[in-house]
Each structure stands twice: as structure tokens, then as C-alpha cells.
Structure 1
């Protein structure tokens, strides 16, 4: 949503950047270079539809920063796609990758269509033609620009992209690395599907484990027992809610575009998901009450709010009524700058989107590395680890004369599968990034909020890259 009531999404990102730049020591010229979008590809191409008519498709690919290559960022299919939105999302990808120490520049793509209005065959033709256009202009490739899924796209579309790319670039040995978020059978990585939701959980959990932050908002340490509301039951929101529930939190409300429901004793996320699949709506779920409007859920009393749906859902108008102590931005840009100002005054902790939803790009990075190395994670060490652990247990049992229970034996012996290593890498990434941001915030008490601290961390890392590259003669 790039322009609502004259509101620019890219302008909002620039505003946040400028606020953070005041807390850095970089030359204004370097700051301008970091902020600017390096390359913008706006395209129009014709596609013949199933009924024989020809439709001209509007699409974009933006490479925000080349301080590291390749560029990285998803492709979204949505009727609202426009250049301002794609530029904003590309710039957020630059800062996101810097914060979580993923060595990519930011990129983003978008096709201005409502995918629900097209047949699978039409979507395939549009996706393949878009890929061909990117190949023509060198806007895709394992060392140049690596797309991924985003709103309205998924594994299917990524499989079409990699197949088209390989057809146009025969013999390129690392061609599978031209796109991430692929099906596992097509070079994808296990753990990618739940990555963004799991990353949100890890990031919020780390904040909740910090005594000084919990003292500030007046909550006990840890996730267990916390009242959580999640907006959005798509891939990101569903997995985030599920991981919070597994950790002992109570999911007291869920919201989707068709409505919102609540139960103060907690909702079973999987049961709600199944109810929606069968009935087409989360409303009227057994044991839950419906909210009058879906956005009312954002203002319901809770400890943690996870807006994981659309941009700009919390603004200067409704922010004063939001009661959550901690807001974890699962979506891109769910809060406006005006909302940020309200929450600073209220003392609400906002964990910013620019790193909190970086689980997707982090695991995409792991997938890209897998494609370049041409070997599955865990293949080399799994059996060695299991054999070594089994030997250690047998030695301990022999020395002590006691037997480890079968359940514990299986747990200790277990060698890491690919998904175990991916989750472990993601957990390490989110914990490290959270601590870096909080440390920056502590170092400079003038920094008003966590978002600004995150931007400061990102600007410093990107600025250091530019300075070390020596590109400013």
C-alpha cells in the first residue's frame, strides 16, 4: 500500500532512515548513496489469456543496493503493486540483510495482478514471461539478483522461474541459485516454509528474555503464559502463532481479512486453521467470539501483538487504542511513522519488521549456499555424529552401570537433519541480531525506539561496506 491519503511507503522508509542517520557519523554523501535505489526496472509485456485476449502486464524489479551482491528480495503478485511500494520493500531488504548479517544487497519485485483472477496456466505464462524479461536485462542470476516468494507467490512460482532461467541459460552450473523458496525437489531447503514465522518467534522470544526490556513494559520474563494476538493467518502469521502456542503462550485472538475471533482462554491455532479451510472463514469458530470488525482485534487487551498481514494497519488514529505492551512486526510496514511516535510516548516496545521478519531471507541465504555447494545440509556429518554420540552414551552407561531411557537415548544420539541445521542457523541469526540492536539502543540513550536502533545498526554496516570498498574517490 504505497499511497493512502497521500502517504508514501518509500517516503516512510526514508523518514525512518533520516531519523536514524542523525545517530551515525557517516558523510551525508554516503548516507544519500545508502538511501537511494540503485536500479529500477519498470516493464510492460503482453500475455495471451485463456480466452484469447491479450493483456498487457505491469511489473517491476528494483535493486536498491549493490554494496554486496547478489541483490535479494521477493516477488509479490498483487493488484496494489506499484513502483513506490517495490522501492520501499527493496530498501527494507538492504537494511534487513545488513542487520541479520546476510551478505546480500536489497532487491524486490512485483507484478500488478490479482492472482485469484487468473488460471494456473495464465499465472505460469505471466511468471515465465516476467523471468524472461529479467534475464534480458540481467536482473536475475545466482551472482546478480536472486528473487524469492512474497505476497501472492510461493514454491510453485519459484519452480517456474528456475525452470525458465535454466532454459535460457543452459549449462550454468549454479543456475539453481537464481531464485530461492523453491520446492525441495527443485533445489529448495527444508525449513524454508516456516522460516519467517519461526524467525518472528525467535526474535520476540529473545526480547522477552531480556530483564531490562521486560521491566520497562512491566511483564515477567519469558514467553510462557503471555497473551498473544496475531493478525493474518497466512504462511507467516500461522507459523508465528503456532510457535508461540508451542512455547506456552496463549493465542487469545486471531484476525483475517474476513473477520476476527477471540477467546481469553486461548485458541487452538491448528483447529482455527482447519475451520477456515472447511468454512472459508475464521468467524464462528466453536468456543470463540467474533469481533465486530477485523481491525478491532488490534486494539484488544494483550501482552504481544503480531500484525502479520498488510502495511499501514496501525496508524496515528488507532495507535492510541492499541493495548499491547510489545508489538512484533510480522508484515512489512504494518505501522506508520505516526504510530511509532505514539508508541514511543506510551512506552510500547515495537520490534521492527526490518529484522523481525528476516527469517525468510536468512533461510533463503542458506538455500542459496546449498545450491552453490551442490550438497544437502547434514549429508556429510549426520551418520558420523550419530555413531559418535551412540559410542559416548555406551561408554557412560558402561562406566556408571546405569541405562539412559530410550527417549533420551534417541534425543542424544540424533544427528542433525537439514531442517535441524536450518532452524539452528535461524535461531543463532535472530538472537545475534536482536542483541546487536538492543546493545546499540543501550549505547545511545538518545535513540527513541528499537526501529531507529535497528536502522542505525543497518546504516553502520552498509556504510562500512561502502567505505571499505573505496568506491568514493
Structure 2
């Protein structure tokens, strides 16, 4: 954490909230309710690990009940603490509101380093944690729906599902108690790449806005734009991959053990293959190794995407950032001081609470799939294909011309699950970006996208509370 951050993570979120709240119509009491964490559950439970018994510390925070269920990931990390979980739960509330996903925000965490435990031990810890949540009604398809986060994935979600179903036998919508599951267990296709793809869709739409690009001295579109990505995990890799495929030039990739630079661009798939073979992205053929991995953040580029840790851009390095667009793919990669510095420089900072909402958006699609008990595309795919083939054949008969076999397959294709998920995610990110941007354009006192995003979220949550009639 940067030395310029004299307040904790939750205070940082509240600081951004307070800055935006002055631009909303809500009275102080409603704002205090929106800002407050509604329920904090701190658990300590014993688990046998080898020959000893360990007492495990864990949390589940439900930040807002303005809409149910609550939604948020579960992380396994030694850094987990109540402040962090509360801050992330608050961000989930605002994130869901911005992208119009009807959930309240939540977050969970278990204070362990998963590398120190065998899969069997991790399973015991995960199942016991789930049982504790069930006991206090902190999990359920209509109550609180966890998802993967740092240190967790499909495997842990399948353990949570199995434990829940064993404790709630016969619950018809039980599969909706958790998202991020394997497809074979009710998961949805497209979930793995969802966050990175959402980052791509959001930034691509921004780059297509002529007025904003003109202010930055850039041409509209992604073609030829120089991109730097920090973090080659799931989010960073997919973001880099989609930008590369769209014609952008990925000039620098940064990992914890080094950074590589090539002004002509790199193929993220080739870099990933190199890392899998050698254990590091360093010494990638054709690229230059940078002395320090953090030097990569300060290289010349058009778009910088920090997709790794919190507070990597702070008051000490923010003045050296040359990127004109900073897309926060990670949670909290900029400190508030860095945010101010970069906005004064004229850069556009696209905030995390909007940009990395692809994961929760597709989690919403998975939850809907579980409640409807039918795979997306199952009912309409074949009908659409037959209709498309019929229309194409009619046009060919009328014109006397035939399309190629490849074109025929493309035109005839009916949407299956992954097509519909991608389409829904693209529409969500586009609509949310323009909603946030409209707030900036129409209010001359709001000069940064983060404040506009908070205003957007506060107004939606405030309206939901008002409609509930809890403020007589």
C-alpha cells in the first residue's frame, strides 16, 4: 500500500462516496443508509489440519439490502480483514447499481493462504464456512449469492453448492445459491472470460466516442492504439487478448516477477505460452525486459490497464504515467491522490466499479439460468437456424446467386448460450458507460468519471430505498 494512503480501504470508498453525494438530491439520512454496511458476520471456526486443529477466521458482509439477493465474491487470502471485506461489499452495491444488475452488494473472505493447504483441507474449510453461512441465513438464491474472487474458483463454488444442497434438500432453486460454478454444475458459458471481456467492451465503447478522443488527441477506435496491461491473470490476459484481436498494439505486459516491452506489439497468447513453458513472461522473444516491473506502468502508451493489485498507482508514480486512458480492471488500483493527479493531467480514468463489472453481470446471467432451469439458447437456437436458412435460400433463388459455404454457416448460425452471454455483456457495458458519461456531460461540476459513477449508483440505490417506502 502506498505511503500516501493514510486511511483504510473502506474509508477510501466512503471518501469517494461523500465527494459524489453532494451532487445528488438525497438528504443526509438516506445517504447515511446507502453508505452503511447493513450486516457484518465475523466467524471463527475450528478445522482439523493434519495433526492439529486450526481456528479459521472468516467474514461475510452484506452491505445493502435495497435489493435481494445480495451478491459478492469470496476470497481466500491472508490479507483478509473486516475493513477490506466491508469496502469490497460497498463497491459491489455500487457496481451492481451502475450496470443495472438487481442485487445488493456483499463480500466474503477467509483469512488463509490457500497455498498452505491441501485440496482436501481447503474443501473442509470451504464446506465448514458454507455451513456457518447457512446457519445464520447468509447464503441462498433469494438471500445472498457468493461467487469466486481472489484465491477461489469453480472448484470452491462447487463445494459451496454441494454443501448448501445437502443442508437444504429439495430446494428447487438451490443451484442459484452460488455463481461461478462449473458448467456441468449449473454454471454459464462465458463466465471465465467475463471480467476481461467487460473491460474490453467498456474501453472499446469509450474509444468510439469522437468528442472524448478529440480531447485526448486520439483518433476514434482501437486500431493502432498502444496498450499496456499490468497482470496476466484471468482478467488481464483476457483484456490483453481481446485488445490484440481488435487491432490494438499491446506494447507492454507486466507481472509480479518482471515486465516486457516491444513497441511493435506482442501476442498475449504467445506470451502466455512462453510463461507456461518457462515459468515467467521475462525473456519473451523479441521483447525487452524492463529493470523493474513497475517501470512498465510509466511507459508511453494510449491505454493503461492495471489488472492486478490495489494501490499500484499512487502519488509518487502518478505524475510519470503517460497513458491518456487508465482502465481500472483491478479493484482500487489507483489511490485517491493518484486519481486527482491523473485527472488534472487530462487523462480519463475509467473506474473499477464500472469497468470490472463484467464478472457480476455474467454471474447475474448464471443466476437467472439457475432460476429458469433451462440453458440459454436451448429453446430458440434450432428455430432461428432453420428460419435463417429458409430466408437465405429464398434470397438465393430470387437473385440467382449463391453464398460461400463459410458465409452460409455464419448467416445460418442460431445464438447459443455463449453468444447470448457475450451479447448481454456487451449491451450492459455499453449502456452503463453512456449512463455514467451522461452524468458528466450534463453536470459541469463533475469532472471525473469515478464521481459520475458514484452519483449514478447513489441515485439508483436511493430511488430503490424510496420505492421500498422505508423512509416515512
Q: Does 1:368 align with 2:387?
A: no
Q: 1:101 to 1:182 in 2, by over 3 A?
A: same
Q: Measure, in 2, the Cα distance between the counterparts of 1:440 and 1:6.
A: 30
Q: Measure, in 2, the Cα distance between the counterparts of 1:2 and 1:140.
A: 35
In structure 2, the partner of 1:187 is: 186
1:258-407 equivalence runs, <5 A: 258-407=257-406
| Deviation sequence 1:114-172 (CA, Å, 0-9, x none) | 11121111111111111111111110000000000011111011001000100111110
Contact 1:200–1:328 (Cα < 8 Å) also in 2: yes
TM-score, scaled to structure 2 = 0.99
In structure 2, the partner of 1:211 is: 210
Q: Does 1:111 align with 2:115?
A: no
SS in 2 for 1:134: helix
In structure 2, the partner of 1:38 is: 38
Q: Measure, in 2, the Cα distance between the counterparts of 1:9 and 1:366.
A: 29
Contact 1:2–1:85 (Cα < 8 Å) also in 2: no
SS in 2 for 1:261: strand
| Deviation sequence 1:317-336 (CA, Å, 0-9, x none) | 11111110000000001011
Q: Measure, in 2, the Cα distance between the counterparts of 1:417 and 1:5.
A: 47
Q: 1:248 to 1:110 in 2, by over 3 A?
A: same
In structure 1, the partner of 2:68 is: 69
SS in 2 for 1:47: strand
Contact 2:216–2:346 (Cα < 8 Å) also in 1: yes
Residue segments in structure 2 that go unaligned for 5+ positions in a row? none
Residue segments in structure 1 that go unaligned for 5+ positions in a row? none
Q: Does 1:419 align with 2:412?
A: no
Alpha-carbon offset, residue 2 of structure 1: 11
| Deviation sequence 1:7-29 (CA, Å, 0-9, x none) | 31111110100000011110110
Alpha-carbon offset, residue 80 of structure 1: 0.7
Alpha-carbon offset, residue 212 of structure 1: 1.1
Contact 2:41–2:59 (Cα < 8 Å) also in 1: yes
Alpha-carbon offset, residue 260 of structure 1: 1.0
Q: 1:364 to 1:411 in 2, by over 3 A?
A: same
In structure 2, the partner of 1:135 is: 134
In structure 2, the partner of 1:462 is: 461
1:155-170 equivalence runs, <5 A: 155-170=154-169
Q: Measure, in 1, the Cα distance between the counterparts of 2:447 and 2:401.
A: 56
Q: Does 1:78 align with 2:93?
A: no
Q: Measure, in 2, the Cα distance between the counterparts of 1:262 and 1:7.
A: 35
Contact 2:4–2:315 (Cα < 8 Å) also in 1: no
Contact 1:3–1:9 (Cα < 8 Å) also in 2: no
Q: 1:4 to 1:42 in 2, by over 3 A?
A: farther
Alpha-carbon offset, residue 6 of structure 1: 3.9
SS in 2 for 1:376: coil
Q: Measure, in 2, the Cα distance between the counterparts of 1:56 and 1:294.
A: 37
Q: Which 10-residue stretch deviates more, 269-278 or 421-430?
A: 269-278
In structure 2, the partner of 1:7 is: 7
Q: Measure, in 1, the Cα distance between the counterparts of 2:422 and 2:197.
A: 8
TM-score, scaled to structure 1 = 0.98
Q: Measure, in 1, the Cα distance between the counterparts of 2:315 and 2:220.
A: 29
Alpha-carbon offset, residue 38 of structure 1: 0.4
Alpha-carbon offset, residue 374 of structure 1: 0.2
SS in 2 for 1:67: coil
Q: Measure, in 1, the Cα distance between the counterparts of 2:319 and 2:28.
A: 35
Q: Measure, in 1, the Cα distance between the counterparts of 2:4 and 2:366.
A: 36
Alpha-carbon offset, residue 295 of structure 1: 1.1
Contact 1:2–1:84 (Cα < 8 Å) also in 2: no
Q: Measure, in 2, the Cα distance between the counterparts of 1:290 and 1:43.
A: 45
Aligned length: 472
Q: Measure, in 2, the Cα distance between the counterparts of 1:435 and 1:6.
A: 34
SS in 2 for 1:7: coil
| Deviation sequence 1:286-317 (CA, Å, 0-9, x none) | 11111111111111110000000011111111
Instruction: Provide the aligned C-alpha RMSD in A.
Output: 1.1
Q: Measure, in 2, the Cα distance between the counterparts of 1:202 and 1:325.
A: 18
Q: Measure, in 2, the Cα distance between the counterparts of 1:267 and 1:14.
A: 39
